[in-house]
Structure 1
Protein backbone atom coordinates (compact mmCIF):
# COMPACT_ATOMS: atom_id res chain seq x y z
CA UNK A 1 0.00 0.00 0.00
CA UNK A 2 1.07 3.59 -0.62
CA UNK A 3 1.71 5.63 2.53
CA UNK A 4 -0.94 8.02 3.84
CA UNK A 5 0.98 11.24 3.10
CA UNK A 6 1.39 10.35 -0.59
CA UNK A 7 -2.29 9.42 -0.90
CA UNK A 8 -3.42 12.65 0.78
CA UNK A 9 -1.18 14.90 -1.29
CA UNK A 10 -1.83 13.14 -4.60
CA UNK A 11 -5.58 13.48 -4.02
CA UNK A 12 -5.11 17.09 -2.96
CA UNK A 13 -3.31 17.89 -6.24
CA UNK A 14 -6.08 16.30 -8.32
CA UNK A 15 -8.84 18.18 -6.48
CA UNK A 16 -6.98 21.50 -6.62
CA UNK A 17 -6.60 21.07 -10.39
CA UNK A 18 -10.32 20.33 -10.72
CA UNK A 19 -9.97 16.89 -12.34
CA UNK A 20 -12.18 13.87 -11.84
CA UNK A 21 -10.34 10.63 -11.11
CA UNK A 22 -10.83 9.50 -14.72
CA UNK A 23 -9.67 12.84 -16.18
CA UNK A 24 -6.57 12.92 -13.97
CA UNK A 25 -5.72 9.34 -14.94
CA UNK A 26 -5.92 10.20 -18.63
CA UNK A 27 -3.70 13.24 -18.14
CA UNK A 28 -1.04 11.24 -16.28
CA UNK A 29 -1.19 8.16 -18.49
CA UNK A 30 -2.76 5.93 -15.81
CA UNK A 31 -5.16 3.18 -16.99
CA UNK A 32 -8.81 3.79 -16.05
CA UNK A 33 -8.93 6.12 -12.98
CA UNK A 34 -6.79 7.22 -10.05
CA UNK A 35 -9.17 5.57 -7.58
CA UNK A 36 -6.81 2.72 -6.63
CA UNK A 37 -3.99 5.17 -5.90
CA UNK A 38 -6.25 7.36 -3.77
CA UNK A 39 -7.44 4.30 -1.85
CA UNK A 40 -3.88 3.16 -1.22
CA UNK A 41 -4.19 -0.01 -3.28
CA UNK A 42 -1.67 0.99 -5.95
CA UNK A 43 1.66 2.75 -5.50
CA UNK A 44 2.71 5.78 -7.51
CA UNK A 45 5.16 4.83 -10.25
CA UNK A 46 8.22 6.87 -11.09
CA UNK A 47 6.56 7.77 -14.40
CA UNK A 48 3.55 9.32 -12.62
CA UNK A 49 5.80 11.28 -10.25
CA UNK A 50 7.78 12.54 -13.26
CA UNK A 51 4.56 13.58 -15.05
CA UNK A 52 3.38 15.50 -11.98
CA UNK A 53 6.68 17.36 -11.99
CA UNK A 54 6.68 17.97 -15.75
CA UNK A 55 3.05 19.03 -16.10
CA UNK A 56 2.32 20.75 -12.80
CA UNK A 57 5.74 21.40 -11.19
CA UNK A 58 4.87 19.16 -8.23
CA UNK A 59 7.93 18.65 -6.03
CA UNK A 60 8.52 14.86 -5.55
CA UNK A 61 9.85 15.46 -2.03
CA UNK A 62 6.70 17.38 -1.08
CA UNK A 63 4.61 14.55 -2.48
CA UNK A 64 6.37 12.09 -0.14
CA UNK A 65 6.19 14.41 2.87
CA UNK A 66 9.89 15.32 2.87
CA UNK A 67 9.59 18.99 1.94
CA UNK A 68 7.20 21.90 2.54
CA UNK A 69 7.90 23.26 -0.94
CA UNK A 70 5.02 22.06 -3.14
CA UNK A 71 6.12 23.51 -6.49
CA UNK A 72 9.50 23.50 -8.24
CA UNK A 73 10.89 25.83 -10.86
CA UNK A 74 11.28 23.33 -13.68
CA UNK A 75 13.26 25.84 -15.74
CA UNK A 76 16.07 25.43 -13.22
CA UNK A 77 18.07 22.24 -12.78
CA UNK A 78 16.77 20.20 -9.85
CA UNK A 79 19.36 18.16 -7.93
CA UNK A 80 17.12 16.96 -5.10
CA UNK A 81 16.36 13.25 -4.50
CA UNK A 82 13.77 11.95 -6.94
CA UNK A 83 12.50 9.13 -4.68
CA UNK A 84 12.42 8.69 -0.91
CA UNK A 85 11.83 5.47 1.03
CA UNK A 86 9.94 5.10 4.31
CA UNK A 87 9.46 2.20 6.72
CA UNK A 88 6.20 0.87 8.17
CA UNK A 89 6.20 3.71 10.72
CA UNK A 90 6.59 6.23 7.86
CA UNK A 91 10.11 7.19 8.98
CA UNK A 92 12.52 7.68 6.11
CA UNK A 93 15.03 4.89 5.54
CA UNK A 94 18.65 5.21 4.56
CA UNK A 95 18.89 3.23 1.32
CA UNK A 96 22.22 1.56 0.56
CA UNK A 97 23.54 1.73 -3.01
CA UNK A 98 26.48 -0.60 -3.58
CA UNK A 99 28.79 -0.41 -6.59
CA UNK A 100 26.73 -2.93 -8.57
CA UNK A 101 23.44 -1.13 -7.89
CA UNK A 102 25.04 2.23 -8.74
CA UNK A 103 25.44 1.05 -12.34
CA UNK A 104 21.65 0.98 -12.72
CA UNK A 105 20.83 3.91 -10.44
CA UNK A 106 20.88 6.69 -13.09
CA UNK A 107 18.53 4.82 -15.43
CA UNK A 108 16.07 3.90 -12.66
CA UNK A 109 16.23 7.12 -10.66
CA UNK A 110 12.46 7.76 -10.79
CA UNK A 111 11.28 4.13 -10.74
CA UNK A 112 9.96 3.60 -7.21
CA UNK A 113 9.77 -0.18 -7.69
CA UNK A 114 13.51 -0.39 -8.49
CA UNK A 115 14.45 1.00 -5.08
CA UNK A 116 12.80 -1.95 -3.32
CA UNK A 117 15.80 -4.14 -4.14
CA UNK A 118 18.10 -1.89 -2.10
CA UNK A 119 18.83 -2.67 1.56
CA UNK A 120 17.22 -0.11 3.88
CA UNK A 121 18.66 0.98 7.20
CA UNK A 122 18.15 3.38 10.10
CA UNK A 123 20.72 4.94 12.44
CA UNK A 124 19.46 6.04 15.88
CA UNK A 125 21.36 9.35 15.84
CA UNK A 126 19.92 12.88 15.66
CA UNK A 127 22.28 13.79 12.82
CA UNK A 128 20.31 11.47 10.53
CA UNK A 129 16.88 12.92 11.22
CA UNK A 130 14.79 15.49 9.31
CA UNK A 131 16.61 15.02 6.01
CA UNK A 132 16.98 12.50 3.18
CA UNK A 133 20.08 10.33 3.51
CA UNK A 134 21.48 7.62 1.28
CA UNK A 135 24.49 5.32 1.55
CA UNK A 136 26.81 4.91 -1.45
CA UNK A 137 29.74 2.55 -1.89
CA UNK A 138 32.93 4.19 -3.13
CA UNK A 139 34.29 2.73 -6.37
CA UNK A 140 37.83 3.38 -7.55
CA UNK A 141 40.73 5.29 -5.99
CA UNK A 142 40.07 8.83 -7.23
CA UNK A 143 39.32 10.12 -3.71
CA UNK A 144 42.38 8.68 -1.97
CA UNK A 145 43.60 9.16 0.70
CA UNK A 146 40.29 10.19 2.32
CA UNK A 147 38.07 7.54 0.74
CA UNK A 148 39.28 4.08 -0.21
CA UNK A 149 37.71 1.74 -2.79
CA UNK A 150 34.70 -0.10 -1.30
CA UNK A 151 34.33 2.38 1.57
CA UNK A 152 30.77 3.55 2.22
CA UNK A 153 29.69 7.17 2.58
CA UNK A 154 26.44 8.46 4.06
CA UNK A 155 25.19 11.49 2.19
CA UNK A 156 22.34 13.99 2.60
CA UNK A 157 20.21 15.08 -0.33
CA UNK A 158 20.39 18.78 -1.20
CA UNK A 159 17.69 20.83 -2.92
CA UNK A 160 19.48 23.53 -4.89
CA UNK A 161 22.79 24.83 -6.18
CA UNK A 162 23.08 27.42 -3.42
CA UNK A 163 24.02 24.57 -1.06
CA UNK A 164 27.12 23.60 -3.06
CA UNK A 165 30.38 24.15 -1.15
CA UNK A 166 33.70 23.62 -3.02
CA UNK A 167 35.33 22.33 0.17
CA UNK A 168 32.91 19.43 0.68
CA UNK A 169 32.57 15.99 -0.90
CA UNK A 170 29.50 15.08 -2.95
CA UNK A 171 27.92 12.04 -4.49
CA UNK A 172 26.86 13.19 -7.96
CA UNK A 173 24.34 11.14 -9.92
CA UNK A 174 24.93 11.77 -13.62
CA UNK A 175 22.85 10.43 -16.49
CA UNK A 176 25.18 7.44 -16.89
CA UNK A 177 27.21 7.12 -13.67
CA UNK A 178 27.44 7.80 -9.94
CA UNK A 179 30.66 9.51 -8.79
CA UNK A 180 32.10 10.90 -5.55
CA UNK A 181 33.94 14.20 -6.05
CA UNK A 182 34.48 17.72 -4.85
CA UNK A 183 32.48 20.15 -6.95
CA UNK A 184 32.95 23.76 -7.98
CA UNK A 185 30.42 25.98 -9.75
CA UNK A 186 31.91 27.82 -12.73
CA UNK A 187 30.75 31.47 -12.54
CA UNK A 188 28.73 32.79 -15.46
CA UNK A 189 28.06 29.37 -16.95
CA UNK A 190 25.84 26.32 -16.60
CA UNK A 191 28.83 24.08 -15.94
CA UNK A 192 30.54 22.67 -12.86
CA UNK A 193 34.03 21.30 -12.27
CA UNK A 194 34.42 17.87 -10.66
CA UNK A 195 37.62 17.41 -8.68
CA UNK A 196 39.31 14.26 -7.38
CA UNK A 197 41.67 14.19 -4.38
CA UNK A 198 44.00 11.73 -6.07
CA UNK A 199 46.39 13.83 -8.18
CA UNK A 200 46.45 11.09 -10.84
CA UNK A 201 42.95 12.20 -11.88
CA UNK A 202 42.62 15.59 -13.57
CA UNK A 203 39.58 17.82 -12.86
CA UNK A 204 36.94 17.89 -15.56
CA UNK A 205 33.88 19.98 -16.41
CA UNK A 206 30.31 18.86 -17.04
CA UNK A 207 27.03 20.61 -17.80
CA UNK A 208 24.52 20.94 -14.98
CA UNK A 209 22.00 19.35 -17.36
CA UNK A 210 23.93 16.08 -17.02
CA UNK A 211 23.35 15.99 -13.24
CA UNK A 212 20.26 14.28 -11.84
CA UNK A 213 20.93 14.34 -8.07
CA UNK A 214 23.53 15.70 -5.68
CA UNK A 215 24.15 14.27 -2.20
CA UNK A 216 26.39 15.96 0.38
CA UNK A 217 28.74 13.46 2.02
CA UNK A 218 28.38 13.78 5.78
CA UNK A 219 30.20 10.71 7.10
CA UNK A 220 31.96 7.47 6.27
CA UNK A 221 30.92 4.06 7.58
CA UNK A 222 33.70 2.42 9.60
CA UNK A 223 33.56 -1.01 11.18
CA UNK A 224 35.52 -2.56 14.02
CA UNK A 225 35.27 0.23 16.64
CA UNK A 226 35.84 -1.23 20.11
CA UNK A 227 34.63 0.24 23.40
CA UNK A 228 34.56 -0.89 27.03
CA UNK A 229 31.60 1.23 28.12
CA UNK A 230 28.16 0.91 26.56
CA UNK A 231 25.17 3.05 27.47
CA UNK A 232 21.71 2.46 25.99
CA UNK A 233 22.23 4.57 22.87
CA UNK A 234 25.66 3.08 22.23
CA UNK A 235 24.30 -0.45 22.51
CA UNK A 236 21.51 0.45 20.10
CA UNK A 237 24.00 2.00 17.69
CA UNK A 238 26.31 -1.01 17.95
CA UNK A 239 23.44 -3.35 17.15
CA UNK A 240 22.45 -1.14 14.23
CA UNK A 241 25.99 -1.31 12.88
CA UNK A 242 25.98 -5.10 13.25
CA UNK A 243 22.73 -5.22 11.30
CA UNK A 244 24.27 -3.00 8.66
CA UNK A 245 27.32 -5.26 8.39
CA UNK A 246 25.02 -8.21 7.81
CA UNK A 247 23.12 -6.34 5.08
CA UNK A 248 26.38 -5.40 3.38
CA UNK A 249 27.87 -8.87 3.73
CA UNK A 250 30.78 -7.61 5.83
CA UNK A 251 32.36 -10.10 8.24
Structure 2
Protein backbone atom coordinates (compact mmCIF):
# COMPACT_ATOMS: atom_id res chain seq x y z
CA UNK A 1 0.00 0.00 0.00
CA UNK A 2 1.00 3.63 -0.44
CA UNK A 3 -0.27 7.07 0.55
CA UNK A 4 -1.55 7.51 -3.00
CA UNK A 5 -3.52 4.25 -3.05
CA UNK A 6 -5.01 5.00 0.38
CA UNK A 7 -5.97 8.49 -0.77
CA UNK A 8 -7.73 7.48 -3.97
CA UNK A 9 -9.60 4.71 -2.12
CA UNK A 10 -10.72 7.29 0.46
CA UNK A 11 -11.75 9.85 -2.15
CA UNK A 12 -13.59 7.29 -4.26
CA UNK A 13 -15.49 6.13 -1.20
CA UNK A 14 -16.53 9.68 -0.34
CA UNK A 15 -17.67 10.23 -3.93
CA UNK A 16 -19.88 7.13 -3.80
CA UNK A 17 -18.44 5.75 -7.04
CA UNK A 18 -17.56 2.16 -7.81
CA UNK A 19 -14.12 1.25 -9.14
CA UNK A 20 -15.66 0.67 -12.56
CA UNK A 21 -17.44 4.03 -12.60
CA UNK A 22 -14.31 5.89 -11.59
CA UNK A 23 -12.11 4.09 -14.11
CA UNK A 24 -14.58 5.06 -16.85
CA UNK A 25 -14.40 8.71 -15.79
CA UNK A 26 -10.62 8.79 -16.15
CA UNK A 27 -10.74 6.71 -19.35
CA UNK A 28 -8.85 3.59 -18.29
CA UNK A 29 -9.95 -0.02 -17.82
CA UNK A 30 -11.13 -1.17 -14.40
CA UNK A 31 -8.32 -3.63 -13.74
CA UNK A 32 -5.76 -0.89 -14.34
CA UNK A 33 -7.48 1.39 -11.85
CA UNK A 34 -7.71 -1.42 -9.28
CA UNK A 35 -3.94 -1.90 -9.55
CA UNK A 36 -3.47 1.76 -8.53
CA UNK A 37 -5.88 1.46 -5.62
CA UNK A 38 -4.23 -1.72 -4.37
CA UNK A 39 -0.74 -0.24 -4.69
CA UNK A 40 0.47 -2.84 -7.21
CA UNK A 41 1.37 -0.17 -9.76
CA UNK A 42 1.76 3.58 -10.07
CA UNK A 43 -0.06 5.76 -12.61
CA UNK A 44 1.79 7.83 -15.21
CA UNK A 45 1.63 11.62 -15.11
CA UNK A 46 -1.32 11.94 -17.51
CA UNK A 47 -3.46 9.63 -15.33
CA UNK A 48 -2.38 11.47 -12.18
CA UNK A 49 -3.60 14.70 -13.73
CA UNK A 50 -6.99 13.15 -14.57
CA UNK A 51 -7.41 11.79 -11.04
CA UNK A 52 -6.35 15.13 -9.55
CA UNK A 53 -8.91 17.02 -11.61
CA UNK A 54 -11.65 14.51 -10.91
CA UNK A 55 -11.26 14.72 -7.13
CA UNK A 56 -10.23 18.42 -7.06
CA UNK A 57 -7.13 17.54 -5.04
CA UNK A 58 -3.60 18.50 -6.10
CA UNK A 59 -1.12 15.84 -7.24
CA UNK A 60 1.33 16.66 -4.45
CA UNK A 61 -1.40 16.03 -1.86
CA UNK A 62 -2.44 12.78 -3.53
CA UNK A 63 1.13 11.51 -3.46
CA UNK A 64 2.46 12.81 -0.16
CA UNK A 65 -0.26 13.60 2.41
CA UNK A 66 -2.39 10.98 4.17
CA UNK A 67 -5.80 12.59 3.72
CA UNK A 68 -7.33 10.25 6.30
CA UNK A 69 -5.66 12.38 8.98
CA UNK A 70 -7.37 15.56 7.76
CA UNK A 71 -11.19 15.21 7.57
CA UNK A 72 -12.18 16.66 4.22
CA UNK A 73 -15.34 18.17 5.68
CA UNK A 74 -13.20 20.31 8.01
CA UNK A 75 -10.79 21.57 5.36
CA UNK A 76 -10.69 24.74 3.36
CA UNK A 77 -9.84 24.06 -0.27
CA UNK A 78 -7.60 26.69 -1.82
CA UNK A 79 -7.44 27.86 -5.45
CA UNK A 80 -5.89 25.47 -7.97
CA UNK A 81 -6.23 22.67 -5.41
CA UNK A 82 -2.78 23.67 -4.20
CA UNK A 83 -3.19 22.93 -0.51
CA UNK A 84 -5.82 22.38 2.11
CA UNK A 85 -6.05 24.19 5.40
CA UNK A 86 -7.41 22.24 8.37
CA UNK A 87 -9.81 24.45 10.33
CA UNK A 88 -8.89 23.67 13.93
CA UNK A 89 -10.97 24.68 16.97
CA UNK A 90 -10.11 24.75 20.67
CA UNK A 91 -12.06 23.12 23.51
CA UNK A 92 -14.50 26.05 23.56
CA UNK A 93 -15.21 25.77 19.86
CA UNK A 94 -13.23 28.88 18.88
CA UNK A 95 -11.26 28.65 15.64
CA UNK A 96 -7.52 28.45 16.24
CA UNK A 97 -5.08 30.91 14.68
CA UNK A 98 -1.69 29.55 13.65
CA UNK A 99 1.26 31.78 14.49
CA UNK A 100 4.10 31.87 11.95
CA UNK A 101 7.35 32.38 13.92
CA UNK A 102 9.39 35.58 13.71
CA UNK A 103 11.97 35.65 10.91
CA UNK A 104 10.31 32.67 9.25
CA UNK A 105 9.87 33.98 5.71
CA UNK A 106 11.80 31.21 3.99
CA UNK A 107 10.50 28.57 6.37
CA UNK A 108 6.91 29.52 5.55
CA UNK A 109 7.56 29.50 1.82
CA UNK A 110 8.90 25.96 2.13
CA UNK A 111 6.15 24.79 4.46
CA UNK A 112 2.92 26.58 3.51
CA UNK A 113 1.81 23.66 1.32
CA UNK A 114 2.65 21.03 3.94
CA UNK A 115 -0.22 20.36 6.39
CA UNK A 116 2.36 18.82 8.73
CA UNK A 117 4.29 22.11 8.91
CA UNK A 118 1.10 24.10 9.52
CA UNK A 119 0.04 21.62 12.20
CA UNK A 120 3.36 22.19 14.02
CA UNK A 121 2.78 25.94 14.44
CA UNK A 122 1.73 27.36 17.81
CA UNK A 123 -1.89 28.46 18.05
CA UNK A 124 -4.04 31.00 19.82
CA UNK A 125 -7.78 31.67 19.81
CA UNK A 126 -9.48 35.05 19.60
CA UNK A 127 -13.26 34.63 19.98
CA UNK A 128 -14.00 37.85 18.09
CA UNK A 129 -12.40 36.46 14.91
CA UNK A 130 -14.91 34.08 13.36
CA UNK A 131 -16.19 32.81 10.01
CA UNK A 132 -12.92 32.39 8.19
CA UNK A 133 -9.42 30.98 8.24
CA UNK A 134 -6.98 33.19 10.18
CA UNK A 135 -3.19 33.13 10.53
CA UNK A 136 -0.73 35.43 12.33
CA UNK A 137 2.40 36.60 10.49
CA UNK A 138 5.46 38.40 11.89
CA UNK A 139 5.87 42.09 11.07
CA UNK A 140 9.19 43.23 9.65
CA UNK A 141 10.69 46.71 9.34
CA UNK A 142 9.00 50.08 9.58
CA UNK A 143 7.03 50.27 6.34
CA UNK A 144 3.58 49.68 7.87
CA UNK A 145 3.16 51.52 11.18
CA UNK A 146 2.12 50.74 13.89
CA UNK A 147 3.50 47.25 13.17
CA UNK A 148 7.17 46.89 14.07
CA UNK A 149 9.58 44.02 14.56
CA UNK A 150 8.20 41.75 17.28
CA UNK A 151 4.55 42.35 16.48
CA UNK A 152 2.21 40.10 14.53
CA UNK A 153 -0.40 40.81 11.87
CA UNK A 154 -3.43 38.52 11.86
CA UNK A 155 -4.86 37.93 8.41
CA UNK A 156 -8.01 36.30 7.09
CA UNK A 157 -7.47 34.05 4.10
CA UNK A 158 -8.64 35.50 0.77
CA UNK A 159 -9.44 33.01 -1.96
CA UNK A 160 -8.72 35.06 -5.08
CA UNK A 161 -7.43 38.32 -6.51
CA UNK A 162 -10.97 39.31 -7.50
CA UNK A 163 -11.83 39.54 -3.79
CA UNK A 164 -9.19 42.22 -3.11
CA UNK A 165 -10.36 45.81 -2.61
CA UNK A 166 -8.31 48.94 -3.17
CA UNK A 167 -7.48 50.75 0.05
CA UNK A 168 -7.48 47.63 2.23
CA UNK A 169 -4.31 46.15 3.69
CA UNK A 170 -3.19 42.59 3.00
CA UNK A 171 -0.43 40.14 3.80
CA UNK A 172 0.95 38.98 0.47
CA UNK A 173 2.95 35.76 0.30
CA UNK A 174 5.08 35.88 -2.86
CA UNK A 175 7.80 33.71 -4.32
CA UNK A 176 10.32 36.56 -4.38
CA UNK A 177 9.54 38.71 -1.32
CA UNK A 178 8.15 36.05 1.01
CA UNK A 179 5.85 37.62 3.63
CA UNK A 180 5.02 41.27 3.01
CA UNK A 181 2.26 43.48 4.45
CA UNK A 182 1.07 46.31 2.20
CA UNK A 183 -1.92 48.40 1.20
CA UNK A 184 -3.53 47.62 -2.16
CA UNK A 185 -3.55 50.60 -4.51
CA UNK A 186 -4.93 49.04 -7.69
CA UNK A 187 -5.48 45.81 -9.64
CA UNK A 188 -3.98 45.62 -13.11
CA UNK A 189 -4.22 43.08 -15.93
CA UNK A 190 -1.24 40.99 -14.84
CA UNK A 191 -0.18 42.58 -11.56
CA UNK A 192 -1.31 44.52 -8.51
CA UNK A 193 0.08 47.83 -7.25
CA UNK A 194 0.77 47.99 -3.52
CA UNK A 195 2.22 50.63 -1.22
CA UNK A 196 3.54 51.03 2.30
CA UNK A 197 1.79 53.36 4.75
CA UNK A 198 5.23 54.83 5.46
CA UNK A 199 5.51 57.33 2.58
CA UNK A 200 9.29 56.97 2.57
CA UNK A 201 8.73 53.83 0.46
CA UNK A 202 7.56 54.01 -3.16
CA UNK A 203 4.59 51.97 -4.45
CA UNK A 204 5.49 48.95 -6.55
CA UNK A 205 3.89 46.18 -8.61
CA UNK A 206 3.61 42.51 -7.71
CA UNK A 207 3.10 40.21 -10.74
CA UNK A 208 0.05 37.99 -10.24
CA UNK A 209 2.08 34.91 -11.12
CA UNK A 210 4.33 35.52 -8.09
CA UNK A 211 1.48 35.59 -5.55
CA UNK A 212 1.20 32.40 -3.48
CA UNK A 213 -1.34 33.47 -0.84
CA UNK A 214 -3.23 36.59 0.24
CA UNK A 215 -4.52 37.30 3.78
CA UNK A 216 -6.61 40.39 4.58
CA UNK A 217 -5.73 42.34 7.72
CA UNK A 218 -8.03 41.33 10.59
CA UNK A 219 -6.21 42.27 13.81
CA UNK A 220 -2.79 42.75 15.38
CA UNK A 221 -0.68 41.55 18.29
CA UNK A 222 1.88 43.89 19.83
CA UNK A 223 4.01 41.91 22.34
CA UNK A 224 6.42 44.81 22.89
CA UNK A 225 3.62 46.78 24.55
CA UNK A 226 3.76 44.33 27.46
CA UNK A 227 7.53 43.99 27.89
TM-score, normalised relative to structure 2: 0.65
Matched residue of 2:17: which SS?
Answer: helix
The answer for the alignment partner of 2:39 in structure 1 is 32
CA displacement at 1:152 relative to structure 2:
1.1
Does 1:96 find its partner at 2:99? Answer: yes
Cα 1:171–1:84 change in 2 (3 A) is farther
In structure 1, distance between residues paired with 2:167 and 2:220: 16
Instruction: String of CA shifts for 1:208-228, please: whole Å, max 9, x gaps.
Output: 110011000111124599xxx
Per residue, is there more strand in 1 or in 2? 2
8 Å contact kept, 1:81–1:213:
no
8 Å contact kept, 1:143–1:196:
yes
CA displacement at 1:150 relative to structure 2:
2.0
8 Å contact kept, 2:165–2:184:
yes
8 Å contact kept, 1:81–1:157:
no
The answer for the alignment partner of 1:121 in structure 2 is 124
CA displacement at 1:164 relative to structure 2:
0.7
Cα 1:202–1:130 change in 2 (3 A) is same
Query: Within 5 Å, which residues of 2 pair with 1:1-251?
Result: 11-13=13-15, 15=17, 18=22, 23=33, 26=36, 32=39, 55-56=53-54, 58=56, 63=72, 65-66=74-75, 74=80, 82-87=84-89, 92-125=95-128, 128-144=129-145, 146-176=146-176, 177-187=178-188, 189-222=189-222
What runs of 5+ residues in structure 2 fail to find an aligned partner? 1-8, 24-29, 41-48, 59-70
Matched residue of 2:115: which SS?
Answer: coil
In structure 2, distance between residues paired with 1:192 and 1:53: 33
Q: How many residues align?
A: 190
CA displacement at 1:82 relative to structure 2:
4.4
8 Å contact kept, 1:107–1:175:
no
**RMSD over equivalenced CA pairs, Å:** 4.1
Matched residue of 1:106: which SS?
Answer: helix
Cα 1:57–1:12 change in 2 (3 A) is closer
8 Å contact kept, 1:82–1:109:
no
What runs of 5+ residues in structure 1 fail to find an aligned partner? 1-6, 34-50, 226-249
8 Å contact kept, 2:103–2:138:
no
8 Å contact kept, 2:98–2:121:
yes
Instruction: String of CA shifts for 1:126-148, please: whole Å, max 9, x gaps.
Output: xx22210001110111113x322
Larger of the two Rg values belongs to structure: 2
In structure 1, distance between residues paired with 2:217 and 2:193: 17
8 Å contact kept, 1:132–1:157:
yes
